[in-house]
Amino acid sequence: MTMKFLGLASLTAMSLVGFAPVDAMAQAASAKVEFIDIRWDGVDRMCVVYPDGRVNFFGKELSVKAPDDVNKRAFYLTLEMNRMAAEGYEFVAMISDEILMKRTVR
């Protein structure tokens, strides 16, 4: 009787462990990933291109002015990247004057 109980317990444990990864993969497959593009084309032409096609030119709206001795491109792109990170986006890549970021939407 003890062997039957151990066999049944092992079978139950293996079946529970076996289904867990399948459920995790199903959830991951149902998740949607959105990408944004932060573009630099000078202070007045900085913009974010959203997945739905909206373009937000944010350069004129900035209340923070870059110090005279700092690279304006690096300064303002960093500010916008941190603002987008607060909205759930994470860094993917940087290509020349563009920063690509993504977030998972459920």
Give the model confidence (pLDDT) of 76-91 as tens digits: 999 999 999 999 999 9
Residues 12 and 23 in one domain: yes
Q: Are residues 60 and 89 in the same domain?
A: yes
Q: Which residue has the higher pLDDT, 95 or 19?
A: 95
The count of structural domains within the chain is 2
Residue 89 contacts by C-beta under 8 Å, 6 or more apart in sequence?
36, 101, 102, 103
pLDDT greater at residue 72 or residue 60: 72
Q: Phi, psi at residue 6, to the nearest 5°?
A: -65, -40
Residue closest to 57 by CA, chosen among 67, 68, 69, 49? 49
Provide the H-helix boundaries in 31-71: none
- The residue type found at 19 is F
* Domain housing 14: 1-30
Residues 42, 60, single domain; the answer is yes
| pLDDT band, residue 59 (cuts 50/70/90) | confident
Are residue 50 and residue 20 in the same domain, yes or no?
no
Host H or E run for residue 94: strand 90-95
Model confidence, pTM? 0.67
Q: Does 23 share its domain with 69? A: no
**Mean pLDDT across 26-46:** 85
